[in-house]
Amino acid sequence: MSTIYPPGVQAQIERGQALLAVEAERRTLMRAQRFDTIAVHGLYDMQAALMQHGSINEPAYFSPAQHFENSDHMEAALAYLMPSWTYARIANPTLHYLEETLALLEGYGVSGEVSACVMGSGMAAVFLATDAFLNQTHNPGPINLVASAKCYGGTFMLFSRYAAERGIDVRWVTDELDLNAWAKRIDAGTRFVFGEMPSNPGLGVFDIAGLAEIAHAHGIPLIVDSTVATPALLRPLAHGADIVVHSLSKAMTSSGFAIGGAIIARHNIPSRVGDDGLRANFAMAIKGLSLRDHGPTLSPFAALMTINDLRTLRGRVEHMSRHALQVARFLSEHPQVEAVSYPGLEGDPGHAVARRYMWLVDGGDDGLPVNRYGHLLSFTVKGGVAAARAAFDGLELIWRATDLGKSKSVATIPAISTHQQQGDTGRALAAVPAHAIRLSVGAEHPDDILADLDRALARSTHTA
Ligand SMILES: *Cc1c(COP(=O)(O)O)cnc(C)c1O
């Protein structure tokens, strides 16, 4: 039985329906466009612009709240019965356009509907996407989660806290290429499967379609962190994954002007917990409940910076991936380098799986399909920790920072930075050697990147 609203509220609801219909039509239209076109325009079209004084760029509203025409408008909006943003902790027009672009890009080539929700950081995305399934009120009993140990240090620490503080059994998979290693850890208490591809900093990969099938047989979702790949190279939803999490702070905004995160999910996901709304539209459930209650909101300024950087995503990722392959080859032949992890190298354990999944969207310049493996690699230096530190300290062009995915090349030693807090045991699980250097290859000319590395590596031989 549907609620009867006073005529004024009903009129607002109908106005809302008309606005929603216009956006739905635009969404259908954009889904038929190519990746670059979607990245440049998103859902913001001429009609939308005319409601923004004709501005060609998406609006940036730095207002915490929306003004309402009257009480009828307010009632309809606050009951979520018409499209509105009401209060910027939950929504904002700039965030809306970013979410629509992300849903279209990550949903490119996906048959069903896809929605997105943005938040203040990548860790907020990992937290909100996973916490939603760790609810104790449904199916009480022992809870566990299954995740690849090769993952971002922040994710490793968050899951370790789930274990320590909530008694959740965190079942780490150390051989992510082996589907059996995942399958045998899943049981009636498993709430979700989580994998990072390619992983930071180990560059681990896994068979997404195979893993999704295993998760779905248990009625649980597969969550993939594909921050390092970006939708320009990999769209996990197209291979059966249910939820994708991103740090928007990395290659999505190569300018380095924003910290942000996103959850992008297909509609109608499997889950053992949560209500019908959560299954029907996970991203919307996160927006309406988790963002409302936890409040890790993205700022409209960061959203605008991200929208702007996303317009050139494919071209940038292509550029940086080509440089990264060149650097990986150079390092793998360098006398001072012990080993290189990069899924694009033929000898890399994950190469066959990466070659199956990582393609430059819409092909190369000639339109033909071409594999690209991303901007991130890591390598170990001969001579151990002292030699690695000497090489690292010798960098003059490549920045020393815990950052990646930017136009500027950046290096870090994960064991003393991003993966420091998880300790020796945690690092052993995640395969993070103490003398590994993680390198994010940027958009500089590759000759200059190679020269900087060569000069720095020469210093590693002077340590005893
Ligand atoms: C950086 C990163 C995160 C966390 O993102 P923030 O925006 O820094 O919170 C999560 N996953 C991966 C793979 C990352 O590289």
In order of their start, the domains of the chain are: 91-310 (3.40.640.10), 313-460 (3.90.1150.10)
Report CA(367)–ligand 1 centroid distance (Å).
32
Lowest-confidence segment of 153-157, 233-237, 427-431 by average pLDDT: 427-431
pTM of the predicted model as reported, rounded to 2 decimal places: 0.97
* Residue owning the nearest CA to atom 5 of ligand 1: 122
Overall average pLDDT of the 117-121 stretch: 98
138 has a pLDDT exceeding 80: no
Q: Percent of the chain, pLDDT > 90? A: 90
Measured from the CB, is residue 199 less than 6 Å from ligand 1?
A: no
What is the CA(123)–ligand 1 centre distance, in A? Answer: 6
> Is the pLDDT at 464 greater than 60, yes or no?
no
Ligand 1 mutation pick, 158, 200, 432, max ligand atoms within 8 A of CB: 200
Assess whether pLDDT exceeds 80 at residue 136. no
Q: Of all atoms in ligand 1, which is nearest to the CA of residue 126?
A: 10
Instruction: Flag whether pLDDT at 1 surpasses 60.
Output: no
pLDDT of 284:
96
Report which ligand 1 atom has the smallest distance to the Cα of 261: 7
Q: How confident is the model at residue 426 (pLDDT cuts 50, 70, 90)?
A: confident
Q: What does residue 379 show for φ and ψ, rounded to 5 degrees?
A: -145, 155
Stretch 25-43: mean pLDDT:
97
CA of 152 to the centre of ligand 1 (A): 7
SS (H, E, C) the chain: CCCCCCHHHHHHHHHHHHHHHHHHHHHHHHHCCCHHHHHHHCCCCHHHHHCCCCCCCCCCCCCCECCCCCHHHHHHHHCCCCCCCCECCCCCHHHHHHHHHHHHHHCCCCCCCEEEEEECCHHHHHHHHHHCCCCCCCCCCCCEEEEECCCCHHHHHHHHHHHHHHCCEEEEECCCCCHHHHHCCCCCCEEEEEEECCCCCCCCCCCHHHHHHHHHHCCCCEEEECCCCCCCCCCHHHHCCCEEEEECCCHHHCCCCCCCEEEEEEECCCCCCCCHHHHHEHHHHHHHHHHHHHCCCCCHHHHHHHHHHHCCHHHHHHHHHHHHHHHHHHHHCCCCEEEEECCCCCCCCCHHHHHHHCECCCCCCCCCCCECCCCEEEEEECCHHHHHHHHHHCCCCCEECCCCCCCCCEEECHHHCCCCCCHHHHHHHCCCCCCEEEEECCCCCHHHHHHHHHHHHHHHCCCC
Question: Among 73-87, 345-359, 364-378, which is the least confidently predicted range?
Answer: 73-87
* Closest approach atom of ligand 1 to CA 196: 13
354 has a pLDDT exceeding 90 = yes
**Atom 2 of ligand 1: nearest residue by CA position:** 247
* Cβ 148 under 6 angstroms from ligand 1: no
Reported as a single tens digit per residue, the pLDDT across 296-306 is: 999 999 999 99
225 pocket-lining for ligand 1 (C-beta < 6 Å): yes
**Higher-confidence position of 3 and 113:** 113
pLDDT tens, 211-229? 999 999 999 999 999 999 9
pLDDT of res. 349: 97
How close is the Cα of 201 to the center of ligand 1, in Å? 11
Q: Is 194 in the pocket of ligand 1 (CB under 6 A)?
A: no
pLDDT value at residue 139? 66
What is the mean pLDDT of the segment spanning 274-282?
95
Task: Tell me, in angstroms, the distance from the centre of ligand 1 to residue 51's CA.
Answer: 35
Ligand 1 centroid – CA 122 distance (Å): 5
| Ligand 1 atom 7 nearest Cα | 122
